Structures are given as C-alpha cells and as structure tokens.
Structure 1
Amino acid sequence: MPAWSFTLLVNQPLTPEQADAFDHCDAFGDGSVSYMRGPAKPEQYPIQCDPSDLIELWCDVEALTLLDAIAQTARNVQLIPGLRAVGATHKDTVTLSDAAQRCDRSYESLVELSQEDEHFPEPLETDGTVFYSWLHIADYLRRLGDDVPHTPRELVIADRTLRLVEDLRGTDVQPGTLRALGLP
C-alpha cells in the first residue's frame, strides 16, 4: 500500500496536554504523523518559529488513495480532545518519490529524467536527502507535454471538505438546506 505525503492543518497549535495525548495515542503510534511545538516561553528565544508550522501535522500515511489517507488522519486527529482537522495541503519541497505521487510518472522515470535531461530542475539544498521544488518539476513536466495539475484533485476535495465542515461548525444551517445545496 502506498504512503501518501501531505500536510494536515489543525484548528490550533497543540497544547502540552494535547501533545501528550497525541504522543500516547495508538492511532499515531506508527510515527506516520508528526507535529512541532513552540517553546513554552517564546519571548525567551531570539529566533521565533513560523506560526503556521505550529498548526500543521506532517503526514506520511499508508492508504489506498490520497483522499483515504487524509480522511483517516482527519478522523484520528479527533481522538485528541479539542483538536480537529481544518484543511489539507502539499508543501512545495518534495523528493522524487513524492513528486511521482503527484503526477502520472513513476519514480524511476523521474530519476532517469533528473540524471539525463539537463533541463530537469536543479535540486534544492542537498544535505543527505535530495529535495526539489514541486512547482519547478510540474512546470518542467508540463513543458514535456504531461498533464500535471497544480494540486491533485483528491487534495482539493479533502481541503475544501475540511474547510466547509469547519465553516459550518456552530452555524444553524438546516439539513434540508444542505441537501438543497447538494450535500448528503
């Protein structure tokens, strides 16, 4: 079964209690989902972390499809009291394996292109693992004639659904109105 890489956005940075619950939750025991916590007293640190990193979970989840992986992770996040998924995205930085998941080419095909075609995008910093810009790879593949979407359809569906669920939270919308809008 493939492992899908994505970023799940959550409603808030994890509190110490939520981080503890996350670390002891069986659903996350395989290490497929990770998070970053800010310092307890950020004013004591000269270099501040990016606040957006504190509401992101980095995921490498095994599932049949990307949509299944996101749904499974969003469901498991609800096991942590007060935490919920509110969106999903991809980062621009990818390995060739990640890039292969986002297009109709195999990993082997991308490796071959990276080694044999001088126009293939240059890697980003390479201390160990080699990373590339997905935007550059996608543009390159489009120039070759590949039909590469900016964002995979399954990721768009998951992101929009999670955002809609969050927007509907606490509103008084009648089920008949939602059905009239095309929702089940």
Structure 2
Amino acid sequence: MPEWSFTLLVNQPLTAEQADVFDHCDAFADGSVSYTLGPENPGDFARVPDASALRELSCDIDAPTLLDAVAQVARDLRLVPGLRAVGVRYDDIVTLEEATRRSGRELSRRQEASAGFPAPEPGVGGTEFYSWRKIAAWLARLGDDVPETPPDLRVADLALRLADALEAVDVPPGVLRALGLPLPAT
C-alpha cells in the first residue's frame, strides 16, 4: 500500500490537554501523524517563529489513495475533543519517491537528466529534495497530463473546508438537500 505525505490543517493549535489525548490515542500510536506544540499560554503564540505550524499536522499515511489517507486522519482526529481537520495541502518539496507516486510514473534523476529534469533543491543532508511544481511543469512539457494538485487533494481540501464552514452555521435540511449535500445524522 502506498504511503501518502501531506499536511492536515486543524481548527486550532493543540492545547496541552489535547496533546496528551493525542499522544495516548491508539489511532496515532504508530507515529504517522505529528504535531508542533506551542507555548502553554495562547497569548505567546505570536512569538513562535512560525505560528501557522501550530495548526498543522504532518502526516505520512499508508492507504490505497490520497483521499482515503486524508479521510482516515480527519476521522481519527475527532477522537481528540475540540480538534478537527479544516483543510489539507501538499507541500511542494518532495523526494523522487513521492514525485513518482504523485505522477504515476517512475522518475529517476539519472535517466531524466538529459531531458531537462529539474535539479534538486538546495538543502541539507543526504536526501535529495525536488520541487513538485517544477517536476509537474517538466512532465507537462513531455506531454504528460499531471495536475499540480491531484484531484483527490482538491476534493479532500474542499470537503474539509465545507465541513468546517457548516460547523459554524445552522443550515436548514432543505437547503443542504438542495445543494446536494447529505443530511447530518441525528
């Protein structure tokens, strides 16, 4: 089964209590989902160098499809009181293995170098990282139809954003039906 890497956006930074529940939840025991815990005092969030990271979960999930992977984490996240998924994104920086999964095509820097394959991004360490946008543009020049953002990711992000929006308002059942949306379970 493929492993999907993505960033799940959550409705709020984790509190110490939520982090404790998260850390002791069987659904997250394998370490495939990680978070950044901010300061105990929410007023100090502004002093965190990248405060947006406090509302992000890094996910590396084994699932048949990307949509299945996102849905699995979004469902499991509801086990942590007060926490819910509100969006999802792919990061631009990928390994060749991740780019191969996204493109559905075997990619090798050595094989593709003569055809103008993008160079690795500058970085640290022994692993080479690439820009997905540059790889997608290169594939497009070769005639491959590889979207920069996979349809599964767009569907998952839009569904999570809609669910979050519906969380804050009272929408009559008739309006939900008229919009083609399922009625919430009662």
Same fold (TM over 0.5): yes
Which residue does 1:119 correspond to in 2?
Answer: 116
Counterparts in 2 of 1:1-184, with a 5 A limit?
1-40=1-40, 48-106=48-106, 109-114=107-112, 116-117=113-114, 119-124=116-121, 125-184=123-182
Structure-2 separation of matches of 1:42 and 1:16: 11
- The answer as to whether partners of 1:67 and 1:158 remain within 8 angstroms in 2 is yes
Q: Does the Cα contact within 8 Å between 1:77 and 1:85 map onto a contact in 2?
A: yes
By how many angstroms is 1:38 displaced?
A: 2.3
Contact preservation (8 Å) 2:77, 2:83: yes
**Kept after mapping to 1: 8 A contact 2:32/2:59:** yes
Cα distance in structure 2, aligned partners of 1:159 and 1:150: 14
- Give structure 2 stretches of 5+ with no counterpart: none
Change (3 A) 1:22 1:178: same
Q: Unmatched 5+ residue regions in structure 1?
A: none
Aligned residues: 180
Residue 24 of structure 1: CA displacement? 0.9
| Residues 42 and 17 of structure 1: CA distance in aligned 2, closer, same or farther (over 3 Å) | closer
Structure 1 vs Structure 2 CA RMSD: 2.1
Check 1:147–1:110 CA distance in 2 against 1; reply closer, same or farther (3 A cut).
farther
- The secondary structure found in structure 2 opposite 1:117 is helix
State the alpha-carbon separation in 1 of the partners of residues 111 and 145 from structure 2. 17
Q: Tell me the SS of whatever aligns to 1:67.
A: helix
Calculate the TM-score normalised by the size of structure 1.
0.90
Identity of aligned residues (%): 59
Task: Give the drift of 1:118.
Answer: 6.0
Q: Find the residue that maps to 2:72 and give its secondary structure.
A: helix
The separation in 1 between residues aligned to 2:72 and 2:142, in whole angstroms, is 35
